């Protein structure tokens, strides 16, 4: 299939390249022409063509046009959707693969459907590793439109890989695509809603790891009786937990890698940003009267980290950099 990709940053560029590796043709655009040129150069078999803007991209796409936005949530995405609404035609598809607020998706889909344009929101998880590992995707939109882009989503998904199959998954009420790493969640907005909660859970898991390692790191405190002080090796503990422990996970893998490189994590300040999804998860929980004390506490800890931090916050920074290349002091 042919698809336009707008925004070629840490994930957008890799999404473009992965699609070309799976036989799809990409029209690529980034506001930095040098970034666009680099992605086109890295694409497989010359399958990527550069565009100079949204209008140029629409002109270079043929048939039922599909454009995937991989832009920061907020005004920049809003402007791109509005502009595409004036450039695209009935039957065309706009995809937002960033981390937009799900209520914005619902509104945008309602606006575009008046023009006959389909809108699909794709919550995309995979970070900077997605080029090789693939992306876990949760998406919302009409069945017709989402079925149409299934070859694209299938190419981006990680596939079943070597993960053991879950018992009883062969029942007809279960979507077999979930095993492949992508899932149609429901109407427009539902994909980003599920991804929003996913990221809220991520906050809580990261915070638990960070606090646990901080407790172990502080076990040699002079405030403790001398016979109760332990000098524990954080890198070794992270490594042994990776091997058969019930808390083994990709986040633990990233923690082990960071600690092996620098056990004191002195290369991090511990200034931990939040990019919105944690806040939105808590807001949704308030609307539903659902208690989420762990996620709420983890978000508040990120707020506090910006006025003073400790080893736990450095652990959080190390994990965020590991999975997403996030730089301290920014929301990127």
The verdict on whether 195 is a catalytic residue reads yes
Q: Judge contact between 50 and 74, C-beta under 8 A.
A: no
262-310 pLDDT, tens digit per residue, is: 999 999 988 898 878 999 999 999 999 999 999 999 999 999 888 776 7
The verdict on whether 226 is a catalytic residue reads no
Spot the catalytic one: 65, 202, 277, 314: 202
222-248 pLDDT, tens digit per residue, is: 999 999 999 999 999 999 999 999 999
Which distant-in-sequence residues (6+ apart) come within 8 Å of 214 by Cβ? 310, 311, 312, 315
Confidence of residue 328 (pLDDT cuts 50, 70, 90): confident
Q: In the prediction, which pLDDT does 332 show?
A: 62
37-80 pLDDT, tens digit per residue, is: 999 999 999 999 999 999 999 999 999 999 999 999 999 999 99
SS3 content of the chain, % helix, strand, coil (to 5): 50, 10, 35
153-193 pLDDT, tens digit per residue, is: 999 999 998 889 999 999 999 999 999 999 999 999 999 99
Spot the catalytic one: 195, 217, 314, 328: 195
Which ranges constitute the DSSP H helices of the chain?
Answer: 12-21, 33-42, 54-60, 75-87, 102-113, 130-133, 143-148, 150-156, 177-180, 190-217, 234-241, 250-261, 277-288, 293-305, 311-324
């Amino acid at each position: 299939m042919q698809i336009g990709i707008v925004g070629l940053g840490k994930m957008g560029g890799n999404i473009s390249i992965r699609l070309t590796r799976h036989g799809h043709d990409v029209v690529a655009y980034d506001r930095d022409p040098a970034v666009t040129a680099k992605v086109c150069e890295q694409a497989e078999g010359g399958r990527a063509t550069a565009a100079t803007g949204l209008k140029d991209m629409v002109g270079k796409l043929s048939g039922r046009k599909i454009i995937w936005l991989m832009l920061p949530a907020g005004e920049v995405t809003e402007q791109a959707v509005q502009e595409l609404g004036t450039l695209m035609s009935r039957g065309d598809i706009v995809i937002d693969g960033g981390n937009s607020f799900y209520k914005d998706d619902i509104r945008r889909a309602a606006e575009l459907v008046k023009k006959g344009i389909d809108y699909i929101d794709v919550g995309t998880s995979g970070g900077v590793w997605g080029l090789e590992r693939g992306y876990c995707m949760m998406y919302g939109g009409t069945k017709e439109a989402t079925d149409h882009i299934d070859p694209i989503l299938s190419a981006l998904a990680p596939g079943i890989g070597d993960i053991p199959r879950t018992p009883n998954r062969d029942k007809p009420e279960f979507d077999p695509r979930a095993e492949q790493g992508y899932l149609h969640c429901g109407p427009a907005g539902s994909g980003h809603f599920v991804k929003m909660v996913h990221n809220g859970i991520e906050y809580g898991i990261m915070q638990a790891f960070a606090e646990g390692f901080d407790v172990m790191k502080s076990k040699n405190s002079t405030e403790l009786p001398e016979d109760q002080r332990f000098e524990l090796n954080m890198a070794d503990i992270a490594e042994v937990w990776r091997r058969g422990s019930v808390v083994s996970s990709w986040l633990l893998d990233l923690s082990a890698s960071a600690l092996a490189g620098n056990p004191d994590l002195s290369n991090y300040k511990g200034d931990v940003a939040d990019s919105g999804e944690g806040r939105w998860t808590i807001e949704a929980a308030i609307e539903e009267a659902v208690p989420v004390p762990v996620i709420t506490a983890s978000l508040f800890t990120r707020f506090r980290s910006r006025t003073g931090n400790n080893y736990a916050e450095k652990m959080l920074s190390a994990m965020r950099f590991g999975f997403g290349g996030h730089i301290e002091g920014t929301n990127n």
